[in-house]
Amino acid sequence: MAEQNKKDYSSKRLIDHAKKLFPICRSITGEGIRQTLSYFEEYHPEFERIIFSTGEMVFDWEIPEEWIIIDAYLEHLKTGKRFAEFKHSNLNIVGYSTPIKKVLDKKNIIKRIHTLPNQPNLVPYVTSYYKKTWGFCMTHNQKKVLPEGQYNVVINSKFKKGNLDLSHALIKGTSSKEIFFSSYVCHPSMANNELSGPVVLNGIIDYLKKYKSPLKFSYRFVLLPETIGSIAYISRFEQKLKKNVICGFNLSCVGDERCYSCVQSPNKNTLADKALEASLIGIKNKKIYDFTERGSDERQYCSPNINLPLCTFSKSKFGTFPEYHTNADNFDLVTDKGLNESLELFKDIIDSFEISLNPTNLTKCEPQLSKRNLYPSISKKEFMEKEFKLRMNVLAFSNGENSIFDIAIKLNIPLELINKEVDLLKNAGLLI
C-alpha cells in the first residue's frame, strides 16, 4: 500500500483514467463499485470507504441486496447464434436482472428486449433496481431481424445480502467550512454519464494536494452510486454537512466539448450558483437550467429538509445529448480536452476561495497605485480603458460583503481575470 500511495494522479491524462475504468461492469452495489472505488483510493489514500449493509434503512429507503452478474445471452437454438451477449457489452443486460435459464419462443422474449426505435443503431441503458424483473437490450435494427423460433434464454445472475459501498475524502484547510464535491460511479460502460465526473473530481483532489499555498477552506469529496448512495451518505453525515458545507457541486456528464451547463439550486442564490455563473462568464456555449430540470444527485442534496447550497455542473447536461444512456456514450464523445476544460473551471473556483472569498479594501478613498507600481508612469489610453478600469472596479466593489464571484458577475469579467486582479491587489497590501 505504501507504494500505491505514491501514485501520481496527474501523471496520466484524465481520459486515460476513464478508459481504464470503462470496461468494469458497475451497478449500484457489488464488485464493480468496489473495484472502481479502489482505483481512486490507490491514488488518493485520503479516501475512506463507507459501507451500508443490505436491509439498512436510510431515511425512507432500504439498502438493496448486492447484484452479481456472471453472464447473459439469447441463443437461437436452430442456428446456435447468440444475441445480446453480456460478454460483448455490459449494456446488453437490464441492470439488476433476475436469473433465468429457460427455452422460450421469440414471441415470449420480444417484450423483454429493450430498444430505441428513434435511434435504431444504438443500445439503450436500462435498469430495474427496485422491482425484480429481467430483460435484454440491443439495437432496434437487431431486434427487427431476430430469427423466428426458440431461444435459450440465459441470465446467470444472483442476489445476496452484502453492502452498498461509497468513499469520501476530506482535504483539510485552516477553516472547518467545506466546499463539497460529489459524483457517482454506478453506470456501466458510459464515458460521459459515468466516468467523466469521478475522473475530474479526482483531478480536483490532485490540484488541492499540490496547491501553491496552505489551504484556507476544507474540501470534501464523495464517490457513490447515484440516488441510493447520496441518500445513504446524507443519512449518516447530515448534521456535519449542514454545519460545515458552504458551497457544493455535483459533477455529472462533464467530459464532452459541446457545452457548459449548470443546474441551479432551488433558491438560485447560493455561493455555488454564483461560483458557476462567474466561472461561465465569457463562455458563449453555455446553458443554465432551473432546479425544475434536475435529474442527478442534486435531487437529494437540495431536497427541502436537507437544503445544501449545491448546484450541478455538466458540460452537456444529462438527458440533453443524443448519446445519453446509450452505447454511443463513449470516447468519441468524451475527450481529454473536454475533461480538462471542466477541471480548469473548478481550478478557477478553488482559486477564488483560496485567494480571497470576500475581498476587503484596506484604504480610504482611492489608493495611489503608481507608488505600488500598479499604474504606469506614462498614461496610455489602452491601459486606462482596460487594466486601470478593472483594477479600480475590483477595489470599488471589495467591501467585504461582495464575494469574489459577486464582483465577477457585477463587472461581467471572467473569473480567472478577477482572481488575478484580486491576487495582485492583495500582494500590494490593498486587499485582504
Contact present, 313 and 262 (Cβ < 8 Å)? yes
Does 36 have pLDDT greater than 70? yes
Sketch out the chain's domains with CATH numbers: 4-63+163-354 (3.40.630.10), 66-160 (3.50.30.90), 359-427 (no CATH)
pLDDT band at 427 (very low <50, low <70, confident <90, very high): very high
Dist CA 143 CA 83 (whole Å): 9
**How far, in Å, CA of 43 to CA of 57, rounded?**
32
Provide the pLDDT for residue 299.
98
The overall average pLDDT reported for the chain is 95
pLDDT band of residue 1 (cuts 50, 70, 90) is very low
Phi, psi of 428 (to 5 degrees): -85, 0
Q: What is the DSSP string of 154-204?
A: EEEEEEES-EEEEEEEEE--SSS-EEEEEEE---SS-IIIIIHHHHHHHHH
Percent of the chain with pLDDT over 90: 93
C-alpha cell at 397: 466593489
Tell me the sheet residues that pair with 105.
150
What is the reported pLDDT for 2?
38
Q: Name 219's bridge partners.
A: 171, 179
* Residues 140, 186 contacting (CB under 8 angstroms): no
Mean pLDDT, rounded, for 66-83? 98
pLDDT digits (tens, 9 = 90+) for 355-388: 999 999 999 998 988 888 887 655 555 545 678 8
Look at residue 395 in the predicted model and tell me its pLDDT.
Answer: 96
Q: Say whether 18 sits in a helix, a strand or coil.
A: helix
Average pLDDT over residues 77-94: 98
Positive or negative: CA dihedral 336, 342, 343, 344: positive
* pLDDT tens digits, 313-345: 999 999 999 999 999 999 999 999 999 999 999
Region of 357 (left: φ > 0; alpha: ψ -120 to 50; beta: rest) is: alpha
pLDDT of residue 382: 55
Using alpha carbons, list the distances in angstroms from residue 202 to 42, 186, 205.
Answer: 11, 16, 5
Strand partners of residue 179:
219, 247
Average pLDDT value for residue range 420-428:
96
Alpha-carbon distance of 47 to 355, in angstroms, equals 26
Helix or strand (DSSP H, E) at 76: strand 66-76
pTM of the predicted model as reported, rounded to 2 decimal places: 0.95
**Cβ distance 98 to 133 under 8 Å?**
yes
Q: Is the dihedral of CA 210, 251, 328, 79 positive or negative?
A: positive
Least confident of 13-22, 146-155, 263-272, 380-389: 380-389
Backbone φ, ψ for residue 348 (5° rounding): -65, -40
DSSP secondary structure of 260-274: EEEE--TTS-SHHHH
Task: List Cβ<8 Å contacts ≥24 apart for 412-420.
Answer: 412/281, 413/281, 414/281, 414/282, 415/278, 415/279, 415/281, 415/348, 415/349, 415/352, 416/348, 416/351, 417/390, 418/278, 418/352, 418/394, 419/348, 419/351, 419/352, 419/355
Checking 17-24 for CB contacts under 8 A at 24+ apart, the result is: 17/195, 17/199, 17/202, 18/191, 18/195, 18/196, 18/199, 18/255, 18/331, 18/334, 18/339, 19/331, 21/195, 21/198, 21/199, 22/189, 22/191, 22/195, 22/331, 23/90, 23/189, 24/188
- pLDDT tens for each residue of 41-53: 999 999 999 999 9
Element (H, E) at 356: helix 336-356
- What pLDDT is stored for residue 386 in this prediction? 78
**Alpha carbons 161 and 167: distance in angstroms, whole number:** 20
What digits encode the pLDDT tens for the residues 130-174?
A: 999 999 999 999 999 999 999 999 999 999 999 999 999 999 999
What is the reported pLDDT for 390?
94
